[in-house]
């Protein structure tokens, strides 16, 4: 299978599956419990119909937008995700370069395998630093200071991961970091030799954001162990208010699902929220992000920029979320599978396809700018907000 044969999310996923050892593919593809929320995230878009306008003259379409003080050429961005160099040896570097080429934002995770400083050198475009709140307050302070020093524009605190989601696929495959060469591992490596060669070529596995705080030499760590042991479950609004004051810039909460929390975020000085359920990887049974978007946009008014992610696989999905008032739309697996399939080239192809799809959909809707997308052009099958 070649990259040119990939025309949508499902093609990229298929190509990634062929390239990756099973545990790594399933780490990306999986979600919590019965994966109901994961499926709902995408299904929710299909419950919403588009009502186009015609004869409006749509030769030129402008996809640019401003969100969290950043000007983007595209209204969608690469949401921060962990461990990208396990998926492809270039990892975060490939994503940073592709996002820069397309004039959009990307995020580096606390659990990133490339340092936020290195990502910054690759892309001078808008960069998000995704932050988890650790028990170790020194580590928290150090990370904020590093991000400031590196010139990161947007601080994004993930608030939906106070404890690890129940990722049963990872339990079954024994997925842990660093990826170990145990008895099961040998056959996984042997089955995917080109992945294995690249993995070894990249040298020691690193988590540069956590350096000096996690000893990777001591043995493999499961992701749920990281969440349960290193993150602080007592994190509360006062802690976040203090961080917002310290950061003194664009500060966004990722994983806000209630209107009440969005109002609270505004009241402590956050500049944005991401309506997100972590791609269904945390609380299974949580409502889909898209279904929850309208009420959060309403609660936020003009006090916060509202972003969303979860289940976005098509230009029309982006268009629907923007029509409900999202300022930008994040994608996760939509760029991770292309990354695994073909590195930077794969991510670029995914962004290119999404750009084309969105541009086409906007023309067919009779719109030439993001500002023209309105909820009046949506109808919900179940009688929801529209
Ligand atoms: C994630 N996500 C995530 N979020 C975060 O705040 N910090 C992180 O380190 C990660 N890591 C991560 C790894 C993988 C493999 C996935 C799939 C997701 C969640 C991510 O930012 C985003 O919220 C979801 O991926 C959006 O859902 P879709 O687009 O994948 O359906």
Determine the distance separating the centroid of ligand 1 and the alpha carbon of 368, expressed in angstroms: 30
User: Which range is least confidently modeled, 153-157, 217-221, 258-262, 352-356?
Assistant: 217-221
Query: Which residue, among 344, 319, 132, 158, has the nearest Cα to 229 in the 3D structure?
Result: 132
Which is higher by pLDDT, 191 or 305? 305
CA-to-CA distance for 204 and 150, rounded, in angstroms?
24
Q: What is the pLDDT of residues 3-53, one digit of tens each?
A: 999 999 999 999 999 999 999 999 999 999 999 999 999 999 999 999 999
Whether residue 42 has its Cβ less than 6 Å from ligand 1: no
User: Could you give the C-alpha distances from 305 to 38, 66, 202, 235, 284, in angstroms and in order?
Assistant: 24, 10, 38, 23, 26
- Residue 340 near residue 194 (C-beta atoms within 8 A): no
Catalytic residue from among 89, 134, 278, 317: 278
Whether residue 158 has its Cβ less than 6 Å from ligand 1: yes
Q: What is the pLDDT of residues 369-381, one digit of tens each?
A: 999 999 999 999 9
pTM: 0.96
Proportion of the chain above pLDDT 70, given as a percent: 95
The dotted CATH code for 3-380 is 3.20.20.70
CA-to-CA distance for 158 and 299, rounded, in angstroms?
20
Determine the distance separating the centroid of ligand 1 and the alpha carbon of 223, expressed in angstroms: 13
Looking from the CA of residue 111, the nearest atom of ligand 1 is 9
Beta-carbon count within 10 A of 379 CB = 14
ipTM: 1.00
Residues 6+ apart with CB under 8 A from 323: 373, 374, 375, 377, 378
pLDDT of residue 384: 53
* Domain segments of the chain as ranges: 3-380
Paired tokens of 11: 């093609």
Which of 35, 131, 281, 293 best tests ligand 1's pocket when mutated (most atoms within 8 Å of CB)? 281
Whether residue 316 has its Cβ less than 6 Å from ligand 1: no
pLDDT at 386 > cutoff 50? no
Whether residue 95 has its Cβ less than 6 Å from ligand 1: no
pLDDT of residue 174: 85
Looking from the CA of residue 279, the nearest atom of ligand 1 is 27
Query: Which residue, among 373, 371, 375, has the nearest Cα to 386 in the 3D structure?
Result: 375
Whether residue 156 has its Cβ less than 6 Å from ligand 1: no
Whether residue 320 has its Cβ less than 6 Å from ligand 1: no
Which is higher by pLDDT, 225 or 270? 270
225 is catalytic: no
pLDDT of residue 223: 74
User: What is the pLDDT confidence band of residue 177, given thresholds at 50, 70 and 90?
Assistant: confident
């Amino acid at each position: 299978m070649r990259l040119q044969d990939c025309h949508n999310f499902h093609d990229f996923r298929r190509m990634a599956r062929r390239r990756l050892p099973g545990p790594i593919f399933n780490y990306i593809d999986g979600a919590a419990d019965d994966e109901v929320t994961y499926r709902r995230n995408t299904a929710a878009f299909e419950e919403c119909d588009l009502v186009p306008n015609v004869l409006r003259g749509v030769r030129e379409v402008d996809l640019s937008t401003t969100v969290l003080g950043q000007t983007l050429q595209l209204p969608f961005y690469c949401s921060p995700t962990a461990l990208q160099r396990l998926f492809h040896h270039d990892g975060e570097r490939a994503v940073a370069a592709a996002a820069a080429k397309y004039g959009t934002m990307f995020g580096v995770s606390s659990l990133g395998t490339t340092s936020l400083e290195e990502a910054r050198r690759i892309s001078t475009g808008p960069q998000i630093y995704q932050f988890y709140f650790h028990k170790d307050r020194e580590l928290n302070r150090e990370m904020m200071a590093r991000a400031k020093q590196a010139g990161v524009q947007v601080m994004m605190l993930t608030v939906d991961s106070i404890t690890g989601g129940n990722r049963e696929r990872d339990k079954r495959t024994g997925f842990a970091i660093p990826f170990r060469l145990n008895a099961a591992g040998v056959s996984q490596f042997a089955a995917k030799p080109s992945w294995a060669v690249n993995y070894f070529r990249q040298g020691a596995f690193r988590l540069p954001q956590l350096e000096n705080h996690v000893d990777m030499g001591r043995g493999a760590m499961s992701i749920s162990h990281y969440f349960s042991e290193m993150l602080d479950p007592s994190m509360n609004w006062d802690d976040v208010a203090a961080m917002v004051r310290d950061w003194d810039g664009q500060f966004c909460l990722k994983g806000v699902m209630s209107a009440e929390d969005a109002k609270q975020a505004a009241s402590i000085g956050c500049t944005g929220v991401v309506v997100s359920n972590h791609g269904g990887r945390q609380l299974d049974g949580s409502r889909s992000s898209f279904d929850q978007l309208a009420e959060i946009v309403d609660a936020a008014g003009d006090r916060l920029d509202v972003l969303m992610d979860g289940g976005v696989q098509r230009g029309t999905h982006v268009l629907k979320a923007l029509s409900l008032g999202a300022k930008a739309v994040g994608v996760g697996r939509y760029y991770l599978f292309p990354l695994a399939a073909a590195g930077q080239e794969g991510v670029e192809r995914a962004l290119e396809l999404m750009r084309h799809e969105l541009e086409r959909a906007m023309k067919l809707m009779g719109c030439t700018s993001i500002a023209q997308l309105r909820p009046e052009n949506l109808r919900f099958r179940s009688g929801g907000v529209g």
